[in-house]
Each structure stands twice: as structure tokens, then as C-alpha cells.
Amino acid sequence: MNRDEIVEVLEEIGVLLQIKGENAFKIRAYENGARTLERMTESLETLVEEGRLQDLDGVGKALAEKVETLFRTGELDFYEKLKAEVPDGLRKMAEISGLGGKSIHRLHKELGVESIESLREACESGKVAALKGFGDKSASKILNGIDNLERFSRRELLSTAEEVAFPVLEGLRGLKAVERAEIAGSLRRRKETVGDLDFIVASDKPEVVMDWFVDREDVEEVIAHGKTKSSVRLGGGLQADLRVVSGIEFPAALHHFTGSKDHNVQMRKRALEQGLSLSEWGLQKKGGDGDYQSVDDEAGLFAKLGLEWIPPELREGGREIDMAETDTLPQLLQLDDIRGALHNHTRASDGRGTLKEMAEEATRLGWEYLGIADHSRSSFQANGLSEERLYEQIDEIRRFNEESEDKVHLFAGTECDILKDGSLDFSDELLAALDYVVVSIHQGGFGQDRDTVTKRIVAAMEHPSVTLLAHPTGRVLLQRDPYPVDLAKVIDAAAANGKWLEINAHPIRLDLDWREWDRAREKGVLACINPDAHRPEGLSYVRFGVDVARKAGLGAEAVANTRNLAEMKKLLDLS
DNA sequence: GCCGTTTTCGGCCCGACTGTTTTCAGTCG
């Protein structure tokens, strides 16, 4: 069993233990172990072989044994027994919002509830309301939760969440009672998908802000409406939380609700080690009674704990606090660093814009160059180019560059399919005639096993004309998992052959994921951030790719398309 | 289940809101 699968098992064990009513700290131990495993950069195989699993933070004797067993055999008695003890229906109930492990445990034990259907019946017949500690409202809340589970059990793309959140933020900022308003949460951390929206507001009239928030037109349901905190469900299904604090409390609140949860836990631990206690209200002496230390902004808060300000994108509970302590936080890439992009389509294949329209948009963005990489012939679903048509496009691009020297420079490329056997979709001669070659998998990746897909990609990476691998895992966010592929081997092949890996910036891909870049960076593999634009406006997607690079801790030097035109020509062996 | 320049046992991050309660447990983030 590979790392990701083991992570899933550990997480699943956590959920099952919760339903069994196990000790909360034991549950957390499994969750922590899963996260540690998820984040480590060394190969799991090495750690197991060398017996060093327990070197990992939060992995002790018991977890190490379980992980090793899963790795070697793919099975675990402890897990199988647990699954057998907890009916599937109960497992599913854990996904109902507002219903936790303890309640599920009691509903099962005292009412014999074993599925969402029987839970619905128990609520409707009044059995739940009659239970001690429950009541009418609890029952209807559960019913509502069941409905919502069916309707809104999904996250949204970062880009979608932005579209919903920005108008709310503007509205908040437009209120007289509001001093400051910011978006926090995973949207501020620029996660690839967002589960809910968090707004933090500084105001001395919290009720006014609360009332405005819950009365907005696109609010479908008010989940909570308190003095300083409210939660609503918006029309599109996204939940939005609002927290109102005073101006003095704002920095700590913004930090707290930006998270992540793991980051906050680590920050609070650090505070405790220094005799301090950190909460959303601020920093005070341990056991203090509200005498919070005043800070001007988040940087002030970090400084009180001996830390550099940590950019929100890095606050995922990895090594960011260690780095902030030792002044070794990376200088992160900025959108302004981007000088062009190489993976873009025109109407020659499945895009909407002409060469000229794409070039004009690139010019408008201030770019120095734009690469055209239409699909190759095997991607017939995308109107892939024949060799003849691609030769014509190369000529067209050469003419464009000759006729308009003061504008953006166009590079002639292709997004060439990696065929099932690892060969490429165009002749070596044609590939050599191009300025650069993007390769990617479009067909069959999901029908092949991990070893076959990996070999297929590695073979392509060894082709002399290839420049970079596009969307290395083929995932489509919220729709399709990655195809099975051994990324460590792909990264090693890229390093060995001087190829680049794409950060596909299309909001539905964001592939290669930010979690996967440690190994690539260590091996000196360059990233290339590409919008995969299918129309002129699509070029601006690069900003989502910049988000991914920042979360990965990459600076401008690690990204190929931060090079200026002359440097890029050199990188592509064109000068 | 993990962890330890105060510790190998007894802790483990902190607080708002809700609903069901008259002081608190459960859930969430």
C-alpha cells in the first residue's frame, strides 16, 4: 500500500474511533499521524526499510507498527475489526454537519440507529427529541443536516469561492460601522479548494454588521446568529462565517481564523512554551484574565513569539514556524515575476482565440513572450493538429514575430500527447523544429496501472526535444482523482534529463499540487506556471498557479517563466 | 496514541454558539 492510501486508512480509523466514542486524544493521534505521513518528503519505503518511522513527529510505536504492516501487506487487522464493528451507515452519519462522534455513538446505542435513513425516521417520529440531552431543535437540526449533506457536500474551486466572497467583502467594507474587513480561512491561504468562507471585521457596532450579514439577499439559511459570530449558508451552497471584533483584537482574530488548524495548534504550543497563551482574542500571560498584549498587526503578533511574519499561503502546519524562527522563510514568488507562459491554446485546436488575440492579451498583461501549444493529432476530441497544420502554424508564428517586433514574442510549441507506449504523437523531426515541446497524457492514463503510467511518462521525459511535462497527475479538482503515478520517479526523471514540471494554473487543475514540490526543489527541477488558456482571458489564470507556487514555498528562481525573453531563449536553446 | 533540559504518568489548543440545561456537553473551526 502506498503512502496516500495509508494516510486514508489512518484518517478513516480516526473517524471510526470517533463513532465508537473513543478517547479524543487517541483520535487526534491518528489524525496527526496521517498528516505527518502526508507531508513527509522522504520515501516511505526508505523509512520502513531503515526502521525509522518513529523518527516522524507524532508517530510512536503503535502507529509505526500499523503503518509498516499496511505498507508491507496492504492489510491491518485492527482496521478490519474496526470497520466490522462500525456499520457503514454510522460512518456515513459522521458527515452530517452538527453531528459528531459522541452523538452518533449515543443514537446508535440508545435508539439502535444504524443508517441515515433510520436516523431520519427516528428524528421524524420524535424518538430523538425524547432522548436526554436532545430536544425538538436537535432533531430538526439533524434533519436539516441530512438534507444539506445531500445537497451541499462539496467544496468549491478557489476561483469560484473568490467570486462569491469578493462581493461580500466589498459590502462589508462599504458599511459605515466597519473599520476593517478581511477574508480569512482557506481562501486567504489560497488552498486549491475552499469549504467555507471566513470574514473578519473590526467594528465597535457588531450587531449592525451581524444584521447586515444574515439579512443579505443571497443568504439561504442562517445557521448561527450571535453577538460576535454568525454563520450562513449562501445560495450556491457555500457556508460563510463572520466574526466581528474590536480594532485592537483584529490582528489576533485575523490570524486565528486564517488558520490552518494545524498551524494554530503549533502557534499555541509555542506560546505556551514561552509562558503565554494564544487565542483568537490575542496573546496573554498563561492563566491571565484578559490582559491581552497589544499588537498593531499580524507581524506584531508573530514578533511577540519570536517569529517572522509568515505569509498565509505557508500556514499549513508544515515547517513554517521553524523557518520563521530561524529567518529561513523562502522569498516567495510574486505575480509580477511572471514574464510569459508556454502552455496555451488557440482556435487551431480547442481554444477560442486567434494567435493575434492571444498575443494581444499577453501584451496587455505586460508579458514578454507567449508560447502556443495546441493539441497534437491524437487528441482528436480537442481538434488536435496534424503535422501539416502544425508546420503551417510554425510559419504563421514566425511571420507574426517578424511583422511585430515591438510586441510580445511568440514561441512555437505543441502540447504533444504521450501515447500509451510512452512514444510521442509527432515525428522527431517535427518536434525538433519547434521552439519547445510540452508533453502530457490525455488518454488511457486511468486504465493503466501505476507502474505503466510512470514508465510511460518517464520515457517521454527522456526524449531530447521535450521541454516540460504538463499537468503531471491529470487530476481534475472535485471531479477526478489523479491517474496512478509514482511522482518521485517522475521528478527524478525530470531532474536527470533537465526537464521542467508544470504548475498548471487552470483553477480546475492546479497540478502539480503544492504539496509535491519539496522533492523537485531539492533536485533542482524547475517549475513552469502555465494557464492552459483556451481563450485570451484565460491567460490571467496564472495567478492561481502563482498561489500554488507560493504554497509550495517556491521563489522566482525556481520558476522557469520568470526569466526574461533573452534568458528564456537561452533556456530553450534558441539563441 | 504520543510525548518528556521540570515529566515515563498525566497531560494533550482555545473559545463561541447552540440546545438543553439551570451549569454544561457537544460541535465546530
CB of A163 nearer than 7 A to strand B = no
Interatomic separation, CA of residue A564 and C1' of nucleotide B27, rounded (Å): 52
Q: Given the DSSP bridges, would you call strands A229-234 and A219-225 parallel, antiparallel or unpaired?
A: antiparallel
Interatomic separation, CA of residue A481 and C1' of nucleotide B14, rounded (Å): 35
Helix runs in A3-113, H state only: 3-19, 24-39, 44-49, 61-73, 77-85, 88-93, 101-111
Of chain A residues 498-557, which have a beta carbon within 7 Å of strand B? none
Interatomic separation, CA of residue A569 and C1' of nucleotide B22, rounded (Å): 76
- Residue A294's pLDDT band, with cuts at 50, 70 and 90, is confident
Q: Which CATH architecture has domain A369-559?
A: Alpha-Beta Barrel (3.20)
Percent above pLDDT 90 for chain A: 60
Nucleotide with smallest C1' distance to residue A66 CA = B1
Interatomic separation, CA of residue A152 and C1' of nucleotide B24, rounded (Å): 31
- Residue A482's pLDDT band, with cuts at 50, 70 and 90, is confident
Cβ neighbours of A20 (radius 10 Å): 16
Averaged confidence pLDDT in chain A: 91
The domains of chain A are located at 3-152, 156-245, 264-324, 369-559
Percent above pLDDT 70 for chain A: 98
Q: How far is CA A555 from CA A216, A267, A331, A332, A516, in A?
A: 40, 25, 6, 4, 15
- Residue A23's pLDDT band, with cuts at 50, 70 and 90, is confident
**Domains A156-245 and A369-559 alike in fold:** no
Of chain A residues 59-88, which have a beta carbon within 7 Å of strand B? 59-64
Which helix or strand (DSSP H or E) is residue A412 part of?
Answer: strand A409-412
Fold for the domain defined by A156-245: Beta Polymerase; domain 2 (3.30.460)
SS3 A199: strand
Fold for the domain defined by A3-152: DNA polymerase; domain 1 (1.10.150)
Interatomic separation, CA of residue A485 and C1' of nucleotide B6, rounded (Å): 49
**C-alpha atoms less than 13 angstroms from C-alpha of A14 in its C-beta half-sphere:** 18
Whole-number Å distance between alpha carbons of A494 and A486: 13
CB of A564 nearer than 7 A to strand B = no
Nucleotide with smallest C1' distance to residue A78 CA = B1
CB of A277 nearer than 7 A to strand B = yes
Question: What is the per-residue pLDDT across A221-277, written as a single tens digit (0 to 9) for each?
Answer: 898 999 899 999 887 788 999 999 999 999 999 999 999 988 998 999 899 888 898
The better pLDDT of the pair A186, A21 is held by A186
What per-residue confidence (pLDDT) applies to A302?
A: 95
What per-residue confidence (pLDDT) applies to A298?
A: 95
Superfamily in which the A264-324 domain is placed by CATH:
DNA polymerase, thumb domain (3.30.210.10)
What per-residue confidence (pLDDT) applies to A153?
A: 62
What per-residue confidence (pLDDT) applies to A244?
A: 95
The better pLDDT of the pair A344, A97 is held by A344
Residue A479 clears pLDDT 80, i.e. is over it: no
Interatomic separation, CA of residue A98 and C1' of nucleotide B21, rounded (Å): 19
Place of cell 501539416: A388
What per-residue confidence (pLDDT) applies to A490?
A: 95
Residue A444 clears pLDDT 80, i.e. is over it: no
CB of A342 nearer than 7 A to strand B = no
Nucleic acid strand B: bases within 7 A of protein CB: 1-3, 11-21, 25-29
Interatomic separation, CA of residue A102 and C1' of nucleotide B25, rounded (Å): 10
Interatomic separation, CA of residue A242 and C1' of nucleotide B28, rounded (Å): 14
Interatomic separation, CA of residue A231 and C1' of nucleotide B3, rounded (Å): 37
Q: How far is CA A155 from CA A7, A236, A315, A477, A553, in A?
A: 20, 11, 20, 10, 24
CB of A3 nearer than 7 A to strand B = no
CB of A422 nearer than 7 A to strand B = no
What per-residue confidence (pLDDT) applies to A101?
A: 84
The answer to whether the CB of A509 falls within 8 A of the CB of A534 is: no
Question: What is the per-residue pLDDT across A339-380, written as a single tens digit (0 to 9) for each?
Answer: 999 999 999 988 888 999 999 999 999 999 999 999 998 887
- Please confirm whether the linkage preceding A276 is cis (ω < 30° from 0): no
CB within 8 Å of A412: residues ≥ 6 apart: A371, A372, A393, A394, A397, A398, A434, A435
Residue A563 clears pLDDT 90, i.e. is over it: yes
What per-residue confidence (pLDDT) applies to A148?
A: 78
CB of A279 nearer than 7 A to strand B = yes
The answer to whether the CB of A196 falls within 8 A of the CB of A255 is: no
What per-residue confidence (pLDDT) applies to A99?
A: 87
Interatomic separation, CA of residue A210 and C1' of nucleotide B17, rounded (Å): 14
Question: What is the per-residue pLDDT across A130-149, written as a single tens digit (0 to 9) for each?
Answer: 888 888 888 988 888 888 77
